[in-house]
Amino acid sequence: MVAGGPYGAEPAVQSAGPLYALLGFLIFPFIWAIPEALVTAELSTAMPGNGGFVLWADRAFGPLSGSLMGTWKYVSGAINGAAFPALCADYLARVVPAVADGRPRVATIVTFNVALSVLNYTGLSVVGWTAVGLGLASLSPFLLMSGIALPKIRPHRWAGVAQEKDWKLFFNTLFWNLNYWDSVSTMAGEVDRPGKTMPKALVSAVSMTSLGYLLPLMAATGAIDAPPEEWGNGFFADAAGRIAGPWLKYWIEVGAVLSSIGLYSATLSSAAFQLLGMADLGLLPRAFAVRAPVFNTPWVSIVATAAITMGMSFFSFNNIVAAANFLYSLGMLLEFAAFIWLRIKRPDMARPYRVPGRLPSAVVLCLVPSAFLVFVMAIAGWKVYAISAAFTAGGLGVYYLMRFCKAKGWLNFGTGQEGVVYYHHQDSTSTNAGLV
């Protein structure tokens, strides 16, 4: 859900040069990825129910905050997921030009969505192992490239900087490539022994993802003498061709498609289980929590998410993707606030994993990433503000509409307690420790 390899990291070099790109991917995990992962680990293990961050905001500040969190994160995730079918079609067009536009492109995007929706219907275990296989296949060419590049590396090339720097593109690239660590929280209710599994998985994922960006960037920028202007999207394939030959270039292009498939599957799963969690909390009708009889997956939520994502796949993403970042930033600010407030409001709540330190340390942990979020939001343009305001207004409208329907008895809603788990102090490893 965070990354399927260093695909998409090239604009960091293009916007500021090798030096700043390498420093960015070296430092940014410490000021952003690690704090987000730590917060996710603590709250996911304390409340291992589906819905994740929606549940945290709901328990900290009430249902309106939970609903707004759901709107911001769901729209952001849907836009993020919608980019992958379009990206897949773009890469396929390099091999099969007929799918570049028109009906063949539409058919490609629809087929991509339908096939991976069916995959999600079969369950998280199938999705997970498929993602592992696709991840290995898409990362392998970068490992080879890094090894082949070693004797060709000239360290002085790492010190290069762009003559004209685009800091907005630079920081958005870092943010886009290293966020969404909390997406796994929406499926915490499906994880066996989350108190032990989640922290280990998040630590491993942050470490491998950071190295997965840094090592290929060091290899490519050090081995070839290319000006920053050449580092547009897809340049890793060209760099691999220069380092090892056309065979590695084509492998990386194929890997980009495989990476898109894996990331889309993970994003769809996260968004679908978020809707299930919101239905468990009574924020959406109970229909979104209906599970398939054989695979036990939330098939209504999967179909709804796939339909929304498919529709967005045909949009132009120039401003709407920036709006996704803005909405995600709003959600993260609320998430950090919920983390701090639950430390104050529920100090007695058992936390199988607890971020080290007392309340002041927790506040400091959230301050630096929060400052970065405010910066990302401040540099957005008026179109992004308008789109984000429209989605937020829509989210408020949905919340009050659901309240009205619930009051009138028009739709069937959950009680707000279903699927929500708190650990008791005497049992911090069982997901059946007790309902709220």
Residue pair 50/276 in contact (Cβ under 8 Å)? The answer is yes
Q: For residue 428, how far is the Cα from the chain centroid?
A: 27
Given this model, what pLDDT does residue 318 score? Answer: 54
What is the maximal distance between C-alpha atoms in the chain? 72
Global pTM value = 0.86
CB atoms within 10 A of CB 309: 25
Q: What is the mean pLDDT of residues 297-321?
A: 80
pLDDT at 435: 27
Q: Can you name the residues that pair with 378 across neighbouring β-strands?
A: none
- Answer whether residue 233 shows pLDDT above 50: yes
Q: Is the pLDDT of residue 430 over 80?
A: no
Task: Say if residue 177's pLDDT is above 90.
Answer: no
| pLDDT (0 to 100) of residue 432 | 33
Alpha-carbon span 260 to 314, nearest angstrom: 16
pLDDT (tens digit, 9 = 90+) per residue, 134-157? 888 889 999 999 999 999 999 999
Distance between CA atoms of residues 66 and 44, nearest Å: 15
Convert the pLDDT of each residue in 61-73 to its tens digit: 999 999 999 999 9
When pLDDT is averaged across residues 362-381 and rounded to a whole number, the result is 91
How crowded is residue 62: how many other Cβ atoms within 10 Å of its Cβ? 10
- Lowest mean pLDDT across 4-8, 228-232, 317-321, 386-390: 317-321
Residue 17: its H or E element: none
Over residues 274-290, the mean pLDDT reads 93
Local confidence band at 176 (pLDDT 50, 70, 90 cut-offs): confident
pLDDT on residue 433: 32
| Among 274, 364, 221, 269, CA closest to 51 | 274
- In the chain, the percentage of residues whose pLDDT exceeds 90 is 47
* Tens-place pLDDT, residues 396-421: 999 999 999 999 999 899 776 655 55
Q: What is the mean pLDDT of the chain?
A: 87
In this prediction, residue 135 carries a pLDDT of 83
pLDDT at 246 > cutoff 50 = yes
Predicted pLDDT at 425: 44
Question: How far is the C-alpha of 242 from the C-alpha of 302, rounded, in Å?
Answer: 42
pLDDT at 18 exceeding the cut of 60: yes
Distance of CA 169 to CAs 108, 175, 315, 343, 345, Å? Answer: 29, 10, 21, 35, 39
- pLDDT tens by residue, 84-105: 887 777 777 767 888 878 898 8
pLDDT band at 325 (very low <50, low <70, confident <90, very high): confident
The stretch 350-373 carries a mean pLDDT of 93
Do 296 and 123 form a contact (C-beta atoms < 8 A)? yes
Judged against a pLDDT cut of 60, whether residue 337 lies above it is answered with: yes
pLDDT beyond 90 at 258: no
Outline where 224-319 has alpha helix (H): 235-244, 246-280, 299-312
Over residues 21-27, the mean pLDDT reads: 95
pLDDT at residue 417, rounded to an integer? 62
Per-residue pLDDT at 420: 56
The pLDDT of residue 316 is above 80: no
Averaged pLDDT, 19-36: 93
- Residue 104 CA from chain centroid, whole number: 29
Give mean pLDDT, residues 272-295: 92
Position 422 scores a pLDDT of: 53
Give the percent of the chain with pLDDT over 70.
Answer: 92
Q: Which domains does the chain have, with CATH numbers?
A: 10-408 (1.20.1740.10)
- Mean pLDDT within 179-185: 86
Of residues 129 and 423, more confidence is placed in 129
